[in-house]
Structure 1
Amino acid sequence: MRKLIISSILILGMLFLCSCSLGNSRTEMLNKDSDETKAQARFEEVIEAIKNNDKDAWKTIFSKQAVDDADDFNGGADQLAGFIQGEINSWEKLDGPTVFESNDYGHVKKEVSSYYYVNTDKQKYFFLLRDYPVDTDHPDNVGLYMLLVVKAEDEKNIYDGDQKILYDGKEKISHAGIYIPIK
């Protein structure tokens, strides 16, 4: 009887330690690392497109939906080229990325927002990238949807609901393409 109790306790202990919730935590950690790696790769594509002033690259980085939804996609690329002053010499990742993922019976959609400071020899900039690496129902949504760029000293203003840049009050505003709200 004593062996049965000890065996039962050991079996229950092993089952508890191998439970789905613990495995799920490990999966979430791996996904977070993967999201961060993908966000950084997307950011590096953006930096290369800026450095090379490559308008064709922009259309491969951004989703088809973003290109279609943007008010003037090509004009945004031109505006960015004129806005960034100097040569890019360094960058640093801020917190994040911020990931929102939904999975409704296999219909998966993921939004990844990443944040960076970019330094040139003349100015420091804040970059916010909103990327959709997965959308199983709408493949035209896959890709970068928004690139917001402001001077670093204007970063706080983009979150101010009174400024109506990313929020109107507390309601989120969506922008497509390259977006430079403060010049």
Structure 2
Amino acid sequence: MIKKIVLLILLTNSFMLTSCLYRGGPVYVGEERAAKKRIKEILAAIENKDKEAMKALFSKKALAEVNDFDEGVDYLFDFFQGDVQSWEIDAWSSGESIERGKKSIMLRVWYIVTTDKEKYMFFVIDYIKDTMNPDNAGLYTLRVIKAEDEETEFGYWQDMVIPGIYKPEQ
């Protein structure tokens, strides 16, 4: 009888606490689903060269803080070459803030995207939920680099927080 109770508790906990640890933070199944949905939306906007669709993915806060969003979109559409063959989540982490019953969830995701011409790495900061400040909801940061440039173009996520689309200085 005790073995059955212990087994039931373990099974219940495993269902309730299903999560993975990546880059130091728990990420729950809903967050993984949100990350997969977001990369599909980003890639569709890039493939269709749809500026309005890309802009719609970003939060009001990011759009208000970026100097020239259209310049970033133009850069990204020119930079990204080829037809997408595959993509995968390389790593992710999340942060959650709760205050007076309101919640903010920031998702940080690193993706690997392979086209028929190049291999890219994407870094995204996405506020998948923000009832504390609804203007934060949506993408805040999108950084796309060639995978071969990871050592020079990627760093700690805290150093890559910029509003809008990353464009290296010329």
TM-score in terms of structure 1 length: 0.76
Report the structure, 1 or 2, having the larger strand content.
2
| Match runs of 1:31-42 below 5 Å | 32-42=28-38
Runs of 4+ in 1 over 4 A off after TM superposition: none
1:125 aligns with 2:120: yes
Q: Secondary structure at the match of 2:96?
A: strand
Which residue is equivalent to 1:3? none
1:105 aligns with 2:100: yes
Residue 78 of structure 1 pairs with residue 78 of structure 2:
no
| CA deviation string 1:8-59 (max 9, x = no partner) | xx7xx969x759xx75x64342671110011100110000000000011012
Whole-Å separation in 2 of the counterparts to 1:120 and 1:14: 51
Aligned counterpart for 1:150 among listed residues 112, 121, 145: 145
User: Helix, strand or coil for the counterpart of 2:29?
Assistant: helix
Provide the secondary structure at the position in 1 that maps to 2:128: strand
- Partner Cα distance (2:88, 2:74) in 1: 24
Instruction: State the alpha-carbon separation in 2 of the partners of residues 99 and 28 from structure 1.
Output: 15
TM-score (norm 2): 0.81
Specify which of 61, 65, 75 is matched with residue 69 of structure 1.
65
> How far 1:115 moved relative to its partner?
1.4
SS across alignment from 1:94: strand
CA RMSD for the aligned pairs? 2.6
Task: For 1:122, give the aligned amino acid.
Answer: K
Contact 1:101 1:111 (C-alpha < 8 Å) held by counterparts: yes
Give the Cα–Cα distance (whole angstroms) in 2 for the partners of residues 118 and 180 of structure 1: 18
Structure 1 residues without counterparts, runs of 5 or longer: 1-9
Q: Secondary structure at the match of 1:114?
A: strand
How far apart, in 2, do the equivalents of 1:14 and 1:91 lie?
42
CA separation in 1, counterparts of 2:99 and 2:9? Answer: 26
Aligned position for 2:166: 179
Deviation at 1:94, TM superposition (A): 1.0
Contact 1:146 1:176 in 2 (8 A): yes
8 Å contact from structure 1 (residues 150, 180) kept in 2: no
The one-letter amino acid of 1:71's match is N
Contact 1:90–1:118 under 8 Å retained in 2: yes
Question: Is the 1:63–1:142 contact (alpha carbons within 8 Å) kept by the matching residues of 2?
Answer: yes
Give unmatched runs, 5+ long, in structure 2: 20-26
Contact kept, 8 Å, 1:131 with 1:143, in 2: the verdict is yes
1:50 corresponds to which residue? 46
